[in-house]
Structure 1
């Protein structure tokens, strides 16, 4: 990290908390924009990005005065309370399930999240869009700092690399394909069956595409806005419906998938029970991919229903488990990217020092050339230009080796210390150079200049 700023992340996810707690957290009606604003109002925090999904809520923050060392970074205290205030859940209940990372650990975690390594379904793609959405949200609020913005932009690139170069996305993995896998292991292929997706947002679009690829005959869509449902359903030859049509549709389709951010149950156990009575013994497959639940969990207890939700996917895993070699390759790629990111920050930290060094040298040369111009008024312009070029070449040659050395030292693991030492040395030398000459002191080259003139 930069010697003047660092990154930290505080979060809660399916890996650290039970899904019933995550469901309550996801039930908040406060927008993520509020959390971003609250975080950046904390003393010492200059920027924040919030990644919010149905099974993850994370605050990435850029703080002042951080370091690469261990310890509790400035700004972490109080963020847990903000979690509680934002979600409406007591801090004492959330605290045991929170995790935090800072400096390189925060960057590594962000890269792993964007790569899908921290997802319920390893390698799934949608998290990339959710990370991007978090960055865009903070940019609209003007709450992104240099380090944080660069880290998130790099994470998006790393996430794509990890999928494309390590085999993480070979099967087009998603929560939808994982859920369908449970059904197929129970009854075989779903080819020729009909599905209904509840929701018409971005996530529902991913689900519709996954269902269509699985061989289902038709995929219908139901939404509060029938027009949006129709537009999405038309992409797969289905029909769009209003949510009021759900009771009837439950009697007709084979697979129902909940994929909205609604905070209440859109399908109740009573509706499912009544639909089963009209299905003539045909089994109903319910796949709830939302938190809070779109489908009342009580429907899982009814005979004739196979119910799969995020809890079951997380607890039982997936049959098409990604190979250990692919996961290891992704982690190695991330480690290399973290080191490259850290080196880039150190090099960026050296730029102000190099700029100040070149500026000081250039100004000194300009001052000397101006003095020479006044003393050599009779010299031909061609000679003046040659003197000017010579002095500037001397400056460039004199600065070349120090510039190379500063960049090499900045890339070193102890680069921050090297740059700090060089900055102090340069400041001391600059102060010495600013010391005015005593009246009786004269430039030792003055007589030589007079002779040339």
Structure 2
């Protein structure tokens, strides 16, 4: 059985191409069904994210399947097939399976080891399953890919170390406070970096969010996203006493959090511990504040250092991840190989059952009336004969299925027993070659030609 993967990602195509080949979530079911209706496509699923669009399909024939996918993408996007071929990758069998496993594990992402892609693979499978466009191979492939993604993250911890500046701030906060549940954060500045950092902190347990910005309207908009409250910029220092973590990322050309303000805060609140994270360039927080007791101050270079160290650890985890993927790939290929012989085995058993029933019925008709015990004995014997005759051919075929000659043994068995196998195109059976015996000589003639008494000895022997 064939598996193909055709798609675009951030490595193969620019954004103007990727956006034409992307699918909105609400349009996926209809487009999946459209692809599934193309001749030769037995099952399919589509992963579509901001950075990738990938089609996984099981075609009856490789060329037929690839042309169906390219035609489908061309019809959907309005791009020429030649243009689509130039910007898409195409993987078959081993490579397509390995690619999906690597995608699910986060090894093919812009951010190595990202967690979000695993949920996107699961969602793509669920959409295809609900749309009715999967088959047994697609089902097993995606289920196994999800297992691989989970296993890689569990065994290697590839997603445990932050590789973005905004999430590095969360990691440092966890190191200082342990659990962040019940902690509060004061966000100074309402830009994208401030929002991302606040988002990561809230998702990790921070419950109170205060936002301060020179534009109060923007502060209110950001605070609303986290069910927090906005405060005026000139009241910033008075609200610091209620914050465990302060994140500052403004475009100011001077310090917005000054040494005297924090010194006064600590004097008024003995024993207070506060974490200050300065993501701005130029810096928002006076670096002398880091010398005050109870204060932990980190700037953008500190955060980048954390990111660099964590990225190195993720690269090491990626090496171990590749080994896991190869193990899972080999296991899946063994399963896939046996799937090719399953219809042949089923056809062989069906033939054996039909012969058994036919001959059993004929024998019972000849015997006339037989007792229940006699019927059971005869029936049991017929079952046993068929099972024993077919046992070793079935076992051997399963063993050969995982070798490079598996297809050959399957076709030989089909031809030997003249099996019609559902879902597989019958091979044209060539008549056996006739052996020309005219050129052969008998043993007796051979000995006579050598002047030996072969004939007399042959008469004695035969």
Q: How does 1:273-288 map onto structure 2 within 5 Å?
A: 282=256
SS of structure 2 residue aligned to 1:54: coil
* C-alpha distance 377-47 of structure 1, shift in aligned 2 (>3 A): closer
Question: How far apart are 1:162 and its partner, in Å?
Answer: 1.4
Which residue of 2 is the match for residue 40 of structure 1? Answer: 36
2:92 maps to 1:102 = yes
After superposition, the C-alpha distances for 1:139-184 in whole angstroms (9 at most, x for unaligned) are 222222222222111111111111112332333x5xxx62415779
Structure whose CA Rg is larger: 2
- 1:391-430 mapped onto 2 (5 Å cutoff): 391-427=382-418
CA distance in 2, matches of 1:401, 1:345: 21
Cα 1:378/1:94, change in 2 over 3 Å: closer
In the superposition, relative to structure 1, how do residues 422 and 90 fare at CA in structure 2: closer, same or farther (>3 Å)?
closer
| Map of 2:129 onto structure 1 | 139
C-alpha change, 1:339 and 1:282, in structure 2 (3 Å) is: same
Identify the residue that residue 446 of structure 1 maps to in structure 2.
none
Q: Which whole-Å CA distance do the structure 2 matches of 1:169 and 1:14 have between them?
A: 20
Q: CA RMSD in A?
A: 5.0
Alpha-carbon distance change, 100 to 282 in structure 1, aligned in 2, over 3 angstroms: farther
**Against the structure 1 CA distance between its residues 240 and 159, is the aligned structure 2 distance closer, same or farther, given a 3 Å change threshold?**
farther
Deviations 1:1-49 (A, max 9, x none): x1xxx22212222233456765786697983345434433443323321
- Work out whether residues 36 and 133 of structure 2, in 8 Å CA contact, stay in contact via their aligned partners in 1: yes
Which runs of 5 or more residues in structure 2 are unaligned? 178-183, 212-219, 234-238, 240-245, 258-278, 285-306, 422-462
Q: CA 1:184 to 1:20, structure 2 compared with 1: closer, same or farther past 3 Å? A: farther
Q: Does 1:55 align with 2:62?
A: no
Distance 1:143 1:160, change over 3 A: same
Partners of 1:82 and 1:160 in 2: how far apart? 32
Aligned to 1:180: 166
Aligned partners of 1:212 and 1:218 also within 8 Å: no
1:344 matches 2:370: no
CA contact under 8 A between 2:344 and 2:419: conserved in structure 1?
A: no
Q: What secondary structure, in the 3-state scheme, does the structure 2 residue paired with 1:143 have? A: coil
1:106-125 residue pairs with structure 2 within 5 A?
106-125=96-115
Q: In the alignment, is the contact (CA less than 8 A) between 2:170 and 2:197 conserved in 1? A: no
Give structure 1 regions of 4+ aligned residues with deviation exceeding 6 angstroms: 23-30, 88-94, 182-186, 188-191, 195-199, 204-207, 214-217, 300-305
> Matched residues in 2 for 1:178 and 1:142: separation?
38
Match of 1:239 in 2: 228
Contact 1:195 1:216 in 2 (8 A): no
- Once the two structures are TM-superposed, the CA of residue 99 in structure 1 deviates from its matched residue by 1.5
Correspondence list, 1:285-304, <5 A: none
Q: Does the C-alpha gap of structure 1 residues 214 and 80 become closer, same or farther in structure 2, counting only changes over 3 Å?
A: farther
Q: Tell whether the 8 Å contact from 1:28 to 1:87 is kept in structure 2 after alignment.
A: no
Change in CA separation of 1:205 and 1:421 when aligned onto 2, cut-off 3 Å: farther
Q: Verify the 8 A CA contact 1:45 1:61 in the aligned structure 2.
A: yes
Distance 1:195 1:94 in 2: 46
SS at match of 1:75: helix
The number of equivalent residue pairs is 353
Q: Distance in 1 between matches of 2:79 and 2:344?
A: 47
* Correspondences of 1:124-273 after superposition (within 5 Å): 124-171=114-161, 178-180=164-166, 192-194=185-187, 208-209=199-200, 212-213=203-204, 218=209, 233=226, 238-239=227-228, 254=247
Tell me how far apart the structure 2 counterparts of residues 75 and 325 of structure 1 sit (CA, whole Å): 38
1:111 partner SS: helix
TM-score (norm 1): 0.62
Question: What is the TM-score normalised by the length of structure 2?
Answer: 0.61
Shift of the 140–90 alpha-carbon distance from structure 1 to 2, 3 Å rule, reads same
C-alpha separation in 1, matches of 2:60 and 2:198: 41
Supply the distance in 2 between the matched residues of 1:417 and 1:169 (Cα, whole angstroms): 44
Residue 359 of structure 1: CA displacement? 1.9
State the distance in 2 between where 1:380 and 1:156 align.
57
Structure 1 distance, partners of 2:56, 2:111, is 22
Residue 391 to residue 88, structure 1, CA distance change in 2 (3 Å): closer
Contact conserved, 2:48 with 2:54, CA < 8 A, in 1? yes
Kindly tell me: are residues 376 and 15 of structure 1, through their superposed partners in 2, closer, same or farther at Cα, counting changes over 3 Å?
Answer: same
Is the 2:104–2:117 Cα contact (8 Å) retained in structure 1? yes
Contact 1:62/1:148 (8 A) holds in 2: yes
Structure 1 position 56, deviation (Å): 1.6
Distance in structure 2 (CA, Å) of the matches to 1:35 and 1:63:
17
